[in-house]
Structure 1
Amino acid sequence: MLSIIPGATIRRTRHWIENTFDMAYQHIYYPLREMTFFSLEDLNWEIGFLLEHCNNTTLS
């Protein structure tokens, strides 16, 4: 079975995905760039902490 997806839907979906990625990048990567980690466990813990904080933030 072949499905045809209108171009406007693809553009809207792509825009939503790019915005979501940018938001995650700003809330997770930016704070990490000033930190120094000496183990992968520490890095993973901090990423998890920032991800949890990002997920619990109310968007306005």
Structure 2
Amino acid sequence: MAATTYFNLGDPTFDVTSETVHRTRDERWWVETNYGWAVLGYEEGAALLKDRRFQQGNARWPE
């Protein structure tokens, strides 16, 4: 079964420890959610946070 490419984090039945999440993490390092993108891998998340090109979306709100 292929990994899902979208997680509905607002669904009360969504479980971050589910087999679906684990299977998706094995196949992809990120996934789209109803709140934006979710990074599924620790190493990838750490690399993004250290990358100076990365900014949170709210950094541009004053503009």
TM-score, structure 1 normalization: 0.21
Task: Answer 1 or 2: which has greater helix percent.
Answer: 1
Which structure exhibits the higher relative contact order, with contacts defined as CA atoms closer than 8 Å and separated by 6 or more residues? 1
Pick the structure with greater CA Rg: 1
Task: Answer 1 or 2: which has greater strand percent.
Answer: 2
